[in-house]
Structure 1
Amino acid sequence: MTTLSAAPTLPRAFWLYWAGVSLTALGDAIVYVALPYLALAAGGGLKGAGAVGLVVLAGSLPRFLGPVLGGLADRLAPRGLLALSAGIRGLAVLAVGLWGQFGTLPLAALLALAFVNGLLSTLAYTAGSALVPRVVAPEALARANSLSSGALMGAPLLGYGLGGGLIHAAGAAGALLVSVPLVLALCAAALALPHLPAAQEGSRPRPLADLREGLGVIRSSPLLLALLGMSFALNLAMNVMNTRAPLQMALHGRGAADYAVFEMLISGGVLLGIVLVTPLTARWSLDALIGAGRWVLLAGALGFIFVPIPAWWAGAAVFGLGLGLLEVAATTRSQQLTGLEVRGRVIGALMGVNAVALSLGAGLAALPLPTPGLMLGLALLLLALMPLWPLALRRPQGQRLSASSSASAKASSSSSHG
C-alpha cells in the first residue's frame, strides 16, 4: 500500500516568482488580444488580415532564438535578468499604448512591440525554468512546476476575457495601458528575490556554440532525446490542429460559437492535467506519468480524424488533459536531467527545435489536404513515436549532464579510440 506524505513546502522566493509570473501572464493576455485590433487600425499600406498576420509572425519569431536566450539565462544572474526583461516589456507596452491614445500607430511600431514582447517573454520563460530548480527542494520541484504552469496557462483564460472587455470600454490602446502594471509585476517580484549568482560565470554568450552544447547534452541523454522527439511531434500536431479547428467548425458546425467551446475544452483539459500532476506523483514516478500522458494525447488526437463537431470537442478535452500532464512532468524531468550550468541552454535548444515544429505544422496545415486524412497521419506519427520512451528508459542513464561533463565524455571517448 502506498503511503502519501505531506505536500512539500515551497519557499518564499518561489511564491514571489509565482505571483509575478501570474500577474504578468494576465497582462500578456491583454496585450495579445489588443495587438490584432491595433493592427487592423494601423496606418500604412498593409491592411486587414495581412497586417494582423505580420504582427502574429513578429511575436512568434523570437522562439527561434531560444538557444541564444538560454545562453544568457545561464550566464547572467536570474534576478537581474527577470527584472530587466519585465521592465523593458512594460516600458515598451506603455510607449505604444500612449502613442495609440494620442495618435495613429504605424504598423512598424506594432511589429516592434510584438517582436520585443515575444523576445523578452521567451527570455523570461527560459530564465524562470532555470531558476525554479534553484529555489525549491528537489522533492517539491514537480509541485512548483505544476503551479508555475497553471499560472502561465490559467491566467490568460481570465486575461483574454478581461482584454476583450477593456477593448470594448477603453479601446485597444487603453487596454495596453491597463496591462502595463500587470506586465511590470514580474519586475517587482524579481527585485524582491534573493541574490543568486549566474549559473555559469565568467564566459561570454556564443550563440552557435551554445546551441551545439545544448543539443550535445540532449544527445548524450536517452531520456532527453526521447522527450525532444515527443515534443517535436506534439508541437507539429498542435499547430496543424490549431489551424484546421476553426475551418472545421465553420464547415461542419456553427463557426465561432463551436470554436469557442473547442478552445474552452482544450484549455480546461490542460488545467486539469496540470492540477492532477501533484497528487499523481505521490503514487507514480515522473517517468510513468510521462508514459501514461503519451497515450492520453494519442487518444485525444484520434478524436480529430472524425468530421462531427462533438468528436472534436471530446478530442480537445482529452488532448488537453494529456498536454497538461506532459507539460509539468516533462519539464520537471528535463530539469532533473540537466546540470545547473547548462540548464538554460538545454531549455533554449528545446524551444528552438519546437519553433521549427510549429512552423512546419503551420505549413502542413496550409496544404490542400482533407482534414480527416491529415489528422490521421499525425495520429499515426504520434503512435510511431510511442516506443521511444520505453526504449530510452531501458538504456543506461548517467548522472545529471552538463556542458563540461558532456565535453569531457566526448574527449575521453576520442582518446580511448585513438
Structure 2
Amino acid sequence: MTAPSLARLRHNRAFKVWLLSTAQSQLGTALSSVALGFLVLEQTGSAGSLTLTLALSLLPNLLLPLAGVWTDRLGPKGLLVAADALRGGVQLALAAAALLGLLTPELIYAAALLNGLLGAMSGPAASSAVPLLVEADDLPRANGLLASFGQGAWLAGYAAGGVLVTLLGPAWALGLDGLTYLVAALAVGGLVQFRHAAQAQGSETALGFWAELRGGVSALRKSRTLTLIPGLALVANAALGPVLALTPAVMDNLGRGAAGYSLFLMLETGGALLAGTIFARWGGALPPHATVTAGLLLGGLSLAMMAGLGTFPALLAGSALFGLSVGLVNTPLVTLIGSQVAASHLGRAFALLSMTGSLGMPLVLLAITPQADQVPASTFYGLAGAGLLLAAAGWWAATRTEAAAYPRRTSV
C-alpha cells in the first residue's frame, strides 16, 4: 500500500472516529463476554444455562439477510446509532439489576435475546461501513487497521475482564460494556458521515424485497465452492459453540475461574491474530482451498487434544491452536466470496454467509443444553473436533477440481 494511501487515512476524520469507536466497543464486548458466563453461573450454577444464554443471543442472526437489504435501502448510520444506544441501555440495566440484587436468570435470557436481535439488525450496517468511509484504493489498509485494532481490543478486554470479574464481580464489566456502546452511538451519530451512501443503496430496490434476497442466494450458486461455503461456515461455527459455552464451567471445575477463562480467550484471540499476520504477509501466495482444509484439520486436532487431555495447560495450548485454525478457515472463505461474487451482490452474499454460519452455534447449543450438566465437556469437545475433521475431508473432496483451476499467485 502506498504512502499517499496511509496519508489519506490519517486525514480521514470519519474513518479514525469509526476505527476508535469500534475498537473501544469491542473492548467492552470482550469484558462482558468474560463476565456473562460467570454471572450465569452465579445465578444458576448450571452449564446448561450457559449454553441456553449463548444460543438465545445467536438465534436472531436468522434475520441477517433481511437486515442486509434494509442496510442497502436506508444506509448504515441510523441503524448503527440506534442499535448501539439500545444495547448500551440493555447492558446498563442488566448491570444495575445485578448490583441491586434484582437479577434473575429470566432477565439474563431476555437481555441475551434482545442484544442478539440488535446485533443482527446492525451487523450488515457495520460490515458496509468502511467502504463508505474510505476510497476504494485504501480499503486493504483500512480493513487491516480495523482488524488489528479490533484484535488488540479483544485481547485487552479479555485480560481486563478476568481481573475485573475476579476483583469486583461481573456486574461492573457489564456496566462498562454498556458505556462503550453509548460512546459508540454518540461518536458515530455526531462525528461520522458516510460518503456516497445514497449511491450505495442502489437501484435494485425496484425489484422488491424478496427478489433482492433471491439475488444474494443466486450469487452463491455460481460454483460448487461458493455453494458449499455457507454449509462449511455452519459446521465451523457449530464446533465453536461448545468451546465458548462450556469452558467457563470447565475452568471453574479446575479452580481457575474467570482469570483462567480470560487467559483461554486471550490465547484464542492471539491465535486468530497470528493467522491474520500470516495472511497479511503471505496471503497472496496461499491457495485458499488448501488453506481452508488445513485450518479445519488443525481445528479438529486442537479440539481432540483438549478433549483427550483436559488439563489447564492442554486447554490453553488447544485454545491458541483453535484460534489459529479459525483464522485459517475464515479469511480464505471471505477471499473466495470476494473474488467470485459480483460487487453488486456482496452485501447480501456476506449477510447470507453470516446468517448460515451463525445458525450452527445456537442449534448445537440448544441440542446439548439438556445434557450439558450430565455429560463431560470433553465429550462435546471431541464430537466438535470430529465434525471439523469430517468437514475437512468433505471440503477437500468436493472442491479439489475447482481448487486446481483457481488462479495461483506467487507474489508475497
Partner of residue 76, structure 2: 78
CA distance in 1, matches of 2:41, 2:255: 25
| Aligned: 1:23 with 2:33 | no
Deviation at 1:268, TM superposition (A): 1.5
Q: Could you list the runs of 5+ residues in structure 1 that have no partner in the other structure? A: 398-418
Deviates more, 1:81-90 or 1:234-243: 234-243
CA distance in 1, matches of 2:41, 2:298: 39
Which of 151, 176, 180 lines up with 2:174 in the alignment?
Answer: 176
CA distance in 2, matches of 1:330, 1:204: 31
Sequence identity percentage: 27
CA distance in 2, matches of 1:277, 1:61: 31
Partner of residue 317, structure 1: 320
Partner of residue 14, structure 1: 15
CA distance in 1, matches of 2:93, 2:249: 36
| Aligned: 1:334 with 2:337 | yes
Give yes or no for contact 1:167–1:175 (8 Å, CA) kept in 2. yes
Partner of residue 116, structure 1: 114
Give yes or no for contact 2:235–2:387 (8 Å, CA) kept in 1. no
Partner of residue 379, structure 1: 389
| Aligned: 1:344 with 2:343 | no
Deviation at 1:21, TM superposition (A): 1.1
CA distance in 2, matches of 1:246, 1:102: 24
CA distance in 1, matches of 2:132, 2:180: 25
Give yes or no for contact 1:97–1:177 (8 Å, CA) kept in 2. yes
> Helix, strand or coil: the match of 1:194?
coil
Deviation at 1:67, TM superposition (A): 1.8
How many residues align? The count is 386
Partner of residue 401, structure 1: none
CA distance in 2, matches of 1:56, 1:371: 17
Partner of residue 416, structure 1: none
After superposition, give the CA deviation of every residue in 1:110-135 in whole Å (9 maximum; x if it has no partner). 33322222222233332122222343
Deviation at 1:232, TM superposition (A): 2.8
CA distance in 1, matches of 2:260, 2:88: 35
CA distance in 1, matches of 2:290, 2:4: 23
Partner of residue 410, structure 2: none
CA distance in 2, matches of 1:15, 1:59: 29
Deviates more, 1:18-27 or 1:257-266: 257-266
TM-score, normalised to structure 1, is: 0.74
Partner of residue 276, structure 1: 278
Q: Which amino acid in structure 2 is aligned with residue 111 of structure 1?
A: Y
Deviation at 1:99, TM superposition (A): 4.2
> Helix, strand or coil: the match of 2:174?
helix
Partner of residue 149, structure 1: 147
Deviation at 1:72, TM superposition (A): 2.0
Deviation at 1:15, TM superposition (A): 2.8
Give yes or no for contact 2:270–2:323 (8 Å, CA) kept in 1. yes
Larger fraction in helix: 2
Q: Which amino acid in structure 1 is aligned with residue 214 of structure 2?
A: R
CA distance in 2, matches of 1:258, 1:98: 26
Which of 156, 159, 164 lines up with 2:157 in the alignment?
Answer: 159
| Aligned: 1:295 with 2:294 | yes
> Helix, strand or coil: the match of 1:184?
helix
TM-score, normalised to structure 2, is: 0.75
Deviation at 1:25, TM superposition (A): 0.9
Deviation at 1:78, TM superposition (A): 1.4
CA distance in 2, matches of 1:7, 1:328: 26
Deviation at 1:28, TM superposition (A): 1.7
CA distance in 1, matches of 2:67, 2:206: 12
| Aligned: 1:33 with 2:34 | yes
Deviation at 1:56, TM superposition (A): 2.7
Give yes or no for contact 2:161–2:262 (8 Å, CA) kept in 1. no
Alpha-carbon spacing, 1:380–1:109, altered in 2? closer, same or farther (3 Å): closer
Alpha-carbon spacing, 1:142–1:259, altered in 2? closer, same or farther (3 Å): same
CA distance in 1, matches of 2:180, 2:69: 27
